[in-house]
Amino acid sequence: MTDLTIANPRVIMHLDMNSFFASVEQAANPELKGIPLAVAGNPKERRGILVTCSYEARAFGVYTTMNVGEAKRLCPNLTIVPPRHELYRQMSDSVFDILRSYTEWVEPVSIDEAYIDTTDIGGLTRAYDLAQEIQMRILAELDLPCSIGIAPNKFLAKTASDMKKPMGITILRKREVPKMLWPLPVIDMHGIGKRTEEKLHSAGIKTMGDLATAEKITLEALLGKNGLRLKQRANGMDTRPVDPESAEERKSIGSSTTLPVDLTELEDCVPIFERLAKKVAARLETKLLAGMTISIQIRYADWQNTTRSRTLQQAIYLEEDLTKVALQLFQQHWNHEPIRLLGITAANVIERSEMVKQLTFDNFEQQEKEYEMDQLMSSLTQRFGDGIIKKGCTKK
């Protein structure tokens, strides 16, 4: 791509498919259109978890991650269908094919969203018309609604795409940031979750405006380098390019090491995993990513390789979390033979701003299991009283 000057700023679009799984079901079966609809893992079970729901269902207060029973109480006429994974992937591929018919500068972010750099195919002058054309074409060819944000960088484009749903098109300029974004609470900012919100609140930083004007030394003490990045975002600055190859590059981030001597004791392996986790966490930090699946690699002295993995309900990126999962996998699968190589990989990685997005069909089953466990514990507590269940108790 040609170098862009100040006189020719970047024009980035962020496309977000509206209620994607539900919209695909409505496109596949027109009888589902215009009615409250949800996709759930076990639609016949009241404890099933909603993967997503249509806007008609949301009008009744139904939302993603709600269980089927509760959703039905709020909306007795709610129609619930099981997920069709392959169909969603096919429709996603068709959406990206349409985007790539305009430009090669398309970066898929997840199954239902992408960044598009349209600087060289009309720039800001044609941006709105181009977004409208893309939106109408996806609707006409695939019968799927989407929202599009237009801005000079990724962060503002993604923020803009959330402003009008469904079927919205929003232009967000950097000069509009103080008026449009600064009054908002920090939790509304992409890239900030509950834990980060708590840390910011502890320093009196409650709005995006507070974050934008906070002292760098304060933010670095609270959040490290990520605090400085968030300050830049709050000021409307983001230099990340649209990278068509990043989706492939970021499918997994890992680190491994060949050991100077074969290890045979668990206590000797623990610090190795801690160092590997630190390296993986640093690479995830650099790209502001988190991993849904954590894998370990064990190569034994006889050169036999073993790889074991665990897919989590929520993506992780912190060094201590990576270490914990890796060690759990290691203790479960190590056959106690001498080891010559160890490795940790974070796979199915996502942008951290996506960590609070709708459930994917890769993690809703785990969500269901955890919900069932919570319900069981609640039932036992109600029946026998507080303290009946204790974690980590040993038999005496």
Which letter does DSSP use for residue 189 in this model? Answer: S
Distance in angstroms (rounded) separating the CA atoms of residues 215 and 228: 9
Output DSSP code: residue 336.
S
| Cβ–Cβ < 8 Å for 23, 17 | yes
DSSP string, 42-65: STTSTT-BEEEE-HHHHTTT--TT
Residues 319 and 277: beta-carbon distance below 8 Å:
yes
* Integer Cα distance of 350 and 140 in angstroms: 30
Alpha helices in the chain (DSSP H): 20-28, 55-58, 68-74, 85-100, 123-142, 154-161, 177-180, 194-202, 208-213, 216-223, 225-234, 246-249, 266-287, 319-333, 364-384
Answer for the pair 186, 204: CB distance below 8 angstroms, yes or no: no
Residue type, 313: Q
Going by C-alpha positions, the residue among 211, 13, 30 that lies closest to residue 116 is 13
Residues making up the binding site for Mg(2+): 16, 112
Contact of 186 with 211, CB cutoff 8 Å: yes
Rounded to an integer, what is the distance from CA 319 to the centroid of its chain? 18
Cα radius of gyration (the chain): 23
User: Catalytic residue among 25, 107, 113, 354, which?
Assistant: 113
Amino acid in the structure at residue 312: L
74-86 burial code (b ≥16 CB/10 A, e <16): ebeebbbbebbee
What sign does the CA torsion over 232, 229, 316, 15 have?
Answer: positive
DSSP 72: H
Cβ(116)–Cβ(96) below 8 Å: no
CA 367/CA 193 separation, integer angstroms: 18
Per the DSSP assignment, residues forming a β-bridge with 345 are: 254, 295
104 is catalytic: no
Measure the CA angle with vertex 109, ends 32 and 53; round to 5°. 25
Residues noted as catalytic: 113
